[in-house]
Amino acid sequence: MDFEIVEYDTPIELYNDLNNGKIDATISEMDNFKVSSYMNQLDLIDTLEILYSGIAVNKDNKELLHEMDRILLELETEGYIEELKQEWSN
């Protein structure tokens, strides 16, 4: 399949081009779809369960990195991170 990836600065520009036929499809954050004035003109064919988040730590601060890894592992083991995903993805 031949396609080109185009990046937009704002969801408004993205949906304007989608509505005007300048692009054929989009992958966007769900919140962008929900606030789009074009929502009733779009066919949402699928949702993706991919979330990218990160925590940046100065690479020289090994103690902080170790402690954050320990706490995140503990929260994941206890199921708390999954609870947060469920709470904030609805």
pLDDT at 87: 80
Rounded to whole angstroms, the Cα distance separating 4 from 27 reads 13
Which domain covers residue 36, as residue numbers? 1-53
∠ CA 56-89-86, nearest 5°, is: 95
How many domains does the structure of the chain reveal? 2
Whether residues 43 and 2 share a domain: the answer is yes
Whether residues 43 and 58 share a domain: the answer is no
Report which of residues 79 and 12 the model is more confident about.
Answer: 79
pLDDT tens digits along 58-75: 778 889 888 988 999 999
Rounded to whole angstroms, the Cα distance separating 36 from 19 reads 11
Tracing tokens 């469920």 back to the chain, one arrives at: 86
Whether residues 60 and 46 share a domain: the answer is no
pLDDT tens digits along 21-57: 898 887 776 666 665 565 666 666 666 666 666 777 7
pLDDT at 75: 92
Whether residues 38 and 13 share a domain: the answer is yes
This prediction has a pTM of 0.44
44 close to 25: Cβ distance less than 8 angstroms: no
Whether residues 49 and 60 share a domain: the answer is no
Token digits of residue 11: 């969801």
Rounded to whole angstroms, the Cα distance separating 7 from 4 reads 10
Whether residues 24 and 38 share a domain: the answer is yes
Whether residues 22 and 36 share a domain: the answer is yes
